[in-house]
Structure 1
Amino acid sequence: MSLNDFQRTNAGGPDALYQLPQANSHTYSPTDTPAKKVVVQSLALSRLPGAMRSMGWHTAAALMQRWFDSPAWAMPEAWKERKTQPDPLTLKPAQCDESIVKMEWAMGYERCRKAVDEAESLLTNPNGIERLKDLLKRSGWMGYGVRKLGSNLMSSLQMDVVSQVNFTRFGSTWATLDDMYGALGIAVLKVGVVGEAFTEVNPVTKQVRYLFHIEQVGFFIRDHYDFNGLQYLGTWTEDRVLTKAETAFTLSLHGQVVLRLKEGPFAAVTNGDFRDYRDKTGKGGDFIIYSDVLWRKSGQVIDLGEWV
């Protein structure tokens, strides 16, 4: 089923647009004037990508549209934990998207630019160096000769396995409502390296130093697109999400409104609404997000310390 045209329908069955079960009428009297009756129409959940596009949230809309267009699949919670994540190279195309999120787009937001600077600073912290040494050992370097690691032809998914050395998180529940907030919320920014390991012997002491020359540094975003858990995702119309100030006018998360803000469909949305959609339509597939790679030239030489 394609949901791109967002046609209205009252038809039943899995091919119908899923109407949020929040339509009701509510009588209120904001002042001493006679009470008025407000009818709140239910909003078709699958109209949300259209509302995002009308706000200029094109990346967020594309991610959500992919979810709607995919066969039903719920991501296991274990996939979201570092120790129990699947090997990226084993992911099926339906479980992973590498085409929608672009680092050029992400770098248009200050919170991502700050994350990139922070991630670069983590290359030489103890965790980063230990991770790099582990990757070199896995690649077959025994602590002598020269060993190349990584390539600037790698995708972010490949870099995550071969030469990713550290990461940081960015984003906040309280961040500005914008395309990045709608697309990623709180996400992980990873940093990897391309270069070569080599040794250097002190001519006087004969002590061996184990070094790594960084030729290029790569930055990429990894995130999960799923609707697990309990989370309020905003109050939506067909055209936009309400601002935080406007949302304060609602009495609850279930469509009872004390101020008529707009004619037409209107609803508060939670993660549970997407899970209900998946159960009733057989559509709605979670997936892992990998951005492309932002490359920066380097030249830095890292002292790997002792080699054991």
Structure 2
Amino acid sequence: MTLYTVKTTHKSDTTPVKVVVDPVHVDDIPAAMDKMKWNTAAKLMRHWFSIKPAFVITDDIRSGNIDPLKLKSNQYNDDIVKIDWLLSHRTWQAADVLVHHTWRSEKGISRLRDLLAKAGWHKGKSTPTYLGSPAFTARECDAYCQVNLRTAGTKFDLIDGLFGAIGNGTLKIAVIGKAFNDKGRDLFHVEKTGIYLRDTYDFTGDDEILGVWSKDKVLGKLETVAYMTDPIESDFEGYVTVYNRDFRRWQKVHNSGGDFVVYSDIKWRSQKDLYVEL
């Protein structure tokens, strides 16, 4: 998909104008991200372009309603986004603190009971039932020991490398430990908690704007407002507005480009004397 931009003049100006058309291709955008040091965002977009044949994410995959372990290898990526990079940003630090303090809600404990039941636990069971492992990937945590979550980021955040890579996503918390019965009380001893990202990388919603791009950079929010208000007079030559639909068209032309689930690695934290009553 090629996007063109030209500089026009007022209709009353009859001076000959030499029009130079410098096409901006949607697959030029990762290189522009590199120039802006948006390394993670560039890697994610290049990964999307690399997937063949073209794949449009389904609602079941996007919502997480299918077993994460049944995702095909080209339907997820878990080695691009690093959790320490994500948590270096303030909004995600805040989400991390909140999910750690609130995961033991009624819903969180109910989820924990359900996961333990699948692992063979029942109320009053005398032998311990173990849950989770520090060797688990994020997908395995999603399937076996994820107990709560919190969303972070919005479409109104600062346009930066984080926004280009994630925008808004979901921070999930998993637990490692064992359930046991102590003098008639069913308890779960939390040995570790783990934080990781689950997001989807896709281009749904045809009219959603993905920025005003040149081959070198994307405009900031104030510059974007000026450009969108009057592209002719805004003096941003070489820039074009990029929409989700431009990526969908690229998919159809090339039969390439695949939506996928994004998982980060996991940040494990050891817990001391943390017990949950079941």
Partner residue, 1:258 = 233
Partner residue, 2:204 = 228
Cα deviation code 1:27-82 (max 9, x no counterpart)? 249xxx99896766331111100111111100000000011111111111332224
Cα deviation code 1:121-166 (max 9, x no counterpart)? 2221000000000000000012312111111111111001110000
Partner residue, 2:149 = 167
Q: Partners of 1:36 and 1:26 in 2: how far apart?
A: 11
Contact map agreement 2:44 2:165 (CA 8 A) in 1? yes
Q: Is 2:217 the partner of 1:240?
A: yes
Counterpart secondary structure, 1:191: strand
Superposition TM-score, scaled by structure 1 size: 0.83
Partner residue, 2:276 = 302
Q: CA offset at residue 101 of structure 1?
A: 0.5
Q: Is 2:245 the partner of 1:279?
A: no
Contact map agreement 1:155 1:292 (CA 8 A) in 2? yes
Please show how residues 74-153 of structure 1 align to structure 2 within 5 Å. Answer: 74-82=56-64, 85-143=65-123, 144=125, 145-153=127-135
Q: CA offset at residue 24 of structure 1?
A: 4.0
Partner residue, 1:6 = none
Q: Partners of 1:23 and 1:210 in 2: how far apart?
A: 67
Which deviates more, 135-144 or 243-252? 243-252
Contact map agreement 2:213 2:242 (CA 8 A) in 1? yes
Partner residue, 1:292 = 265
Q: CA offset at residue 251 of structure 1?
A: 4.0
Q: Is 2:9 the partner of 1:27?
A: yes
Cα deviation code 1:235-259 (max 9, x no counterpart)? 001111001111122246xx94323
* Total equivalences in the alignment: 272
Letter in 2 for 1:19: T
Cα deviation code 1:1-32 (max 9, x no counterpart)? xxxxxxxxxxxxxxxxx312x43442249xxx
Which one scores higher on RCO, CA 8 angstroms, separation ≥ 6?
2
Cα deviation code 1:209-262 (max 9, x no counterpart)? 11111000000000001101131000001111001111122246xx94323234
Contact map agreement 2:227 2:236 (CA 8 A) in 1? no
Letter in 2 for 1:189: L
Q: Which structure has the bigger radius of gyration?
A: 1
Gaps of 5+ in 1: 1-17, 202-207
Q: Is 2:181 the partner of 1:199?
A: yes
Q: Partners of 2:165 and 2:214 in 1: how far apart?
A: 18
Letter in 2 for 1:98: D
Which portions of structure 1, spanning 4 or more consecutive aligned residues, are displaced by more than 6 angstroms?
33-36
Superposition TM-score, scaled by structure 2 size: 0.92
Taking only aligned residues, the RMSD between alpha carbons, in angstroms, comes to 2.2
Letter in 1 for 2:191: E
Letter in 2 for 1:284: G
Contact map agreement 1:237 1:267 (CA 8 A) in 2? yes
- CA 1:39–1:129 in 2, change beyond 3 Å: closer, same or farther? same
Q: Is 2:222 the partner of 1:249?
A: no
Counterpart secondary structure, 2:147: strand
Partner residue, 1:59 = 40
Q: Partners of 1:146 and 1:138 in 2: how far apart?
A: 14
Percent of aligned positions that are identical? 34
Q: CA offset at residue 199 of structure 1?
A: 1.2
Counterpart secondary structure, 1:213: strand
Counterpart secondary structure, 2:98: helix
Contact map agreement 1:159 1:192 (CA 8 A) in 2? yes
Q: Partners of 1:121 and 1:182 in 2: how far apart?
A: 28
Counterpart secondary structure, 2:227: coil
